Structure 1
């Protein structure tokens, strides 16, 4: 009888241990999340975020994530309409200039997002963290960055007796540009200044002339004078379709140049500095993931999915190499694939130059002033 009792106790203890073990060691049991969320994105991020959502839902079968693509020209209007109607999407991809156009007077930003940013802060450049702060509050998670670089048409420079190494300051651009303009009988103005390239040129000059001690009007005047100097010396190409051999741009420039089918040889370097020895590392504003609808039922899902997106290095690198966007997450660039040769480029991969620029770009001391000046100068 005693043996039966002993065996019975042993049996029940064994069952209890098995049950506890299953609960303790079942993979990610406590980490699974459920709920329904919607994300608004533009075409640059749709494919990537859709892939992220699908991968996330495979691991979290009770989560439903809808990624909705909105055209650029409808994007801000769509969100403003949602705010007016009180029917907000959960997460939106927005940069700081777009945030300036959104009706946020009575909007309360999602406080929990600051915990995510603080947890991964060492993997974001200081300049990038600065962009997601408004009145010292973190309002979103950095998704992408736009480190500014100078793309130079090396084969054409060589035809006129120059090399990419000859250009490091604005004076170099002006002197070489004037010479090439004359040698080409007025056919080539070396620096492109159309579309997004013009916006990036203005962004660069604002950051170079930004001074806490100077007023907005003084800084604007300095930028306008520099642009006028470049125009007067026949440096800026202001007409779409005309030939040029330099452009200030970011990841979008790489995507366009590597898609060219005509024979060409481009070189990527840092933008020209104001003068010899001054800073050549600059980042324009990137996109952020902003939480708009803070439904309590979905908070854990929102938090987990955003964390998954920003740390998803395996999938991210594929889209970076295609030129879709440039991730803000610094660890991504530990991947040796960023060193791969890019079609139509010689020298280091533009991704290496951009990752270096993102990491080394100094913080914009008065970011609000920068945004105000850029908004005014580009009529955003």
Structure 2
């Protein structure tokens, strides 16, 4: 697929929007999606365990020869990422007693942005939402360590779409953590009761037709789609179809373009869902969605693989009633790969122990062993593709009756490059406030709304660029 990212004046295009995000799968009488089988071998369980132990020690020995793995560093992370990296840090310190790693839990990067601005208290390794990477490179230039000597050799092993988010020109300033290939989570029992075959949903038109059947069969109780019509709490749902088309909020010259074909197509599909009465408004999209799923008012969610963990955590009593299939495409045979979430890590240029930072990153983020910890502890789907044949990715998740991670592994190599240049978040807020609600709630003319929002966002972008 042709890549979408280009250099834009002082802005480096690339980065990912998503809000927060974890994995998926399903137990259904319907045919399961084809999932790559794990690599088989002739070893017994004990022999395989011994082999993995030797490989782990060999990896540790190799890193020891490349990096000085002694010193004391601090890492910041949030939510389930924090839980996973604490486990990883503990194991790393067991292998390297001269290393001390302190992991601090943060709610977000508000404090970090202040630290980067003042240059004081900056942690050695810091987690970022990948949609903010290029903004950070531009806004806090000089704050991050060049890790090209580590990253360049792993480029072929990474999910291709994430790579532009990690580099400032030819310089690697970030390493990938998790990514979030999107898929369609659906209630197998409701689909079966309504006579809807999930394998028949190949396009969004098919999805709409399925929604009409479910609406009729449940007497209007169950909708197939739920999102915040006003866009105040989230606008992730329309963006999934937008990104599926390789859409960007910026043209090739780096100017804002909300009124693109990708936007109008995505908005048109969601407007049709509203008109056909197969969608429900979720004013507080996150909490209202969980409530709607719990009371059977909503039966599908198109989201990143991370959402599997959300279902298991919040709807444990629905185990065995969920599965996943690839997203519908805009046109039959069209692209259905999208990323919806993910994070990266950067190293402070002021760290006293750069070798230790790079050694830990290599072991935890760029190895099968580290990816296994992320998957098993926090269901984080890493960007490191060689790990996808590991049992932690391929084994059946009993909640879904399949492996959501294995499906995600099939849905990540053709994701369009992530169209989020510097200051994307600022511009996205204007799209969220000035485009979504006026179209879906106020019923205003789409072209006029998008043109006015584009003009407003362009002025803001020029201000942020000091143009």
Mark yes or no: TM-score above 0.5: yes
Alpha carbons of 1:323 and 1:49: their partners in 2 closer, same or farther (altered >3 Å)? Answer: closer
Task: State the partner residue of 1:368.
Answer: 421
Q: Which residue of 1 aligns with 2:350?
A: 294
Residue of structure 2 equivalent to 1:15: none
Unaligned runs of 5+ in 2: 1-60, 283-287, 434-467
**2-structure distance, mates of 1:83, 1:155:** 50
1:58 pairs with 94, 97, 100, which one? Answer: 94
| Matched ranges for 1:298-313 at <5 A | 298-313=353-368
Q: Deviations over 1:331-357 (max 9, x none)?
A: 1111134222212324x4111111111
- Report the Cα distance in structure 2 between the residues aligned to 1:247 and 1:323, rounded to whole angstroms: 20
- Segment of structure 1 superposing worse, 204-213 or 138-147: 204-213
- Partner in structure 2 of residue 160 of structure 1: 194
Deviation readout 1:24-80 (Å, 9 max, x if unpaired): xxx677554222211110021112211222222223323221110011xxx221112
Cα shift at 1:129: 0.9
Partner of 1:202: 238
Contact 1:152–1:245 under 8 Å retained in 2: yes
Task: Give how far 1:321 is off.
Answer: 4.2
What do you get for the CA RMSD once the two structures are aligned? 3.0
Q: 1:164 to 1:274 in 2, by over 3 A?
A: same
CA spacing shift, 1:106–1:85, aligned 2, 3 Å: closer
Whole-angstrom distance in 1 between the partners of 2:238 and 2:151: 29
Report the CA distance between 1:226 and its aligned residue.
2.7
1:48 and 1:262, CA in 2 relative to 1: closer, same or farther beyond 3 A?
A: closer
DSSP-derived class of the 2:413 partner: helix
Name the residue aligned to 1:181.
215
**Could you list the per-position Cα deviations for residues 203-249 of structure 1 after superposition, in whole angstroms to 9, with x for gaps in the alignment?**
31221341767933224344333322222222323332222111111
Deviation at 1:185, TM superposition (A): 1.8
Return closer, same or farther for 1:48/1:77 CA change in 2, 3 Å cut-off.
same
Correspondence for 2:340 among 284, 296, 299: 284
Give how far 1:120 is off.
0.8
Query: TM-score with structure 1 length normalisation?
Result: 0.81
Verify the 8 A CA contact 2:162 2:176 in the aligned structure 1.
yes
Gaps of 5+ in 1: 1-26
Match of 1:19 in 2: none
- Residues 283-304 of structure 1 show CA distances to partners (whole Å, capped at 9, x for unaligned) of 2342001123433x31111111
Larger radius of gyration: 1
**1:330 touches 1:359 (CA, 8 Å); kept in 2?**
no
Residue 258 in structure 1 maps to residue 312 in structure 2:
yes
CA distance in 1 between partners of 2:423 and 2:258 (Å):
9
Deviation at 1:119, TM superposition (A): 1.1
Q: Which residue number corresponds to residue 71 of structure 2?
A: 35
Aligned-partner SS, 2:334: coil
Residue 173 of structure 2 corresponds to which residue in structure 1? 139
Tell me, yes or no, if the aligned pair for 1:150 and 1:247 is still in contact at 8 Å. Answer: yes
1:20 maps to none
Q: Which has the higher helix share?
A: 1
